[in-house]
Amino acid sequence: MNKIGIYFAYWEKEWEADYCYYIDKVKSLGFDVLELAAGCLPDIGSKGRQEIRKRAADAGIELTYCIGLPPEYDLACEELSVRKNGIQYVGQLLDCIHEMGGDTLGGIVYSCWPGPVVTYDEKMRSRERSIASVKEIAQKAEDYGIQYCLEIVNRFEQYLLNTASEGVDFVKEVGSPNVKLLLDSFHMNIEEDSLYQAITCAGERLGHFHIGECNRKTPGQGRMDWDEIIKALDTIDYQGKIVMEPFLRPGGQVGKDIKIYRDQSGNASEEQMDIMAANALKFIRRKLECVK
C-alpha cells in the first residue's frame, strides 16, 4: 500500500517550524511521511538538517520536500540573471535534500509562485526558458537520485502548467528520468476534464501525489470523488507517496499565500486538528484497501 503523509503547514501559520516536533506528531497519528517546506533548509544549517534527518530515521518517518519558488528565482523569467539565480538556488536545495537522505522535491519548481499574469504568447516563450532551466537542474537531481516533481496547479496560481497533459509534454521535452509530475487533487478539480484521465495521462511520469478536498479540507470532508482518484492510481500501478495538503486556518504567511480567508477548522484546537488528520488518514487507507 502507498505510504501516506501530510504537510506540516496543516498545523502552522508560517512556512518555518520545529520539524522534529512534527515528525513525532505524525508518527503518533499513524502517518508514514512528513512533507517539509524546502525553502528553509539552507538556513537551518548542516547541524539542524542532520538533527531532522536523525529524528525522522529514528521515528521511521520518511521526509519529502516541497516549494513554490519565489519570483527572484523564477526559472522561466525573461531575465537571464534571475534564471541563473534560480538554478543556483534549486541546486542548493537539492544539496540539502541529498544531505538529509531525501528522494523527492516537488512544487512549482519550473517557474515561480505565484506566477505573473501573462499572454498566451508570453507563456509559450516562458515555457521554452523553463525547459532549458529544468534541463540544467535535472543533472544534479539524477546524480543525487532525487525525483524532481513539477506540480500541476490551477491557472490562478501559475500560468505555465495547468493540466497533466501539459505536464507530460513538458517532461518529455526535458527528457530526464528524474523529472516527473506532481498532481494535486485540489488543482485537478479546477482544471481537469476528468480526474481519472488526468492521472492515467501522467502514468509512469507521476512521481508524487498531493490530496485534499475541493475546499482545501482534509480528505473525506468534501465532495472530491476519491473512488475515481484511487481507481486511477491503481490503474497506473502508482507506488509512490500520497501526501495530504489541507489548509484550514487563516492567519500568518501560510494563510495569506494560500488565501485562507475563513476558519474552516471550526476554531479547532491542536488536539482537534490532530483528530481530523488521523480520521482523514483512516479514510484514505480504507479507500486504498477497497480497490485492492
Q: Which of 220, 223, 228 is nearest to 285 (CA)?
A: 220
Which three cell numbers mark 239? 507506488
The residues, ordered by sequence, that sit 6+ positions from 44 with a Cβ below 8 Å of its Cβ are 52, 96
Q: Which of 157, 192, 213, 245 is catalytic?
A: 245
Q: Which of 12, 35, 151, 192 is catalytic?
A: 151
**Is the pTM value of this prediction over 0.85?**
yes
In the residue annotation, 245 being an active-site residue is answered as yes
What structural domains and CATH numbers belong to the chain? 4-291 (3.20.20.150)
In the residue annotation, 79 being an active-site residue is answered as no
Per-residue b or e along 190-216, where b marks 16 or more CB atoms closer than 10 Å to that residue's CB? ebbeebbebbbbbeebbbbbbbbbeeb
Residue 292: what pLDDT? 65
Residues in the chain with pLDDT < 50?
none
Peptide bond into 114 cis (omega under 30): yes
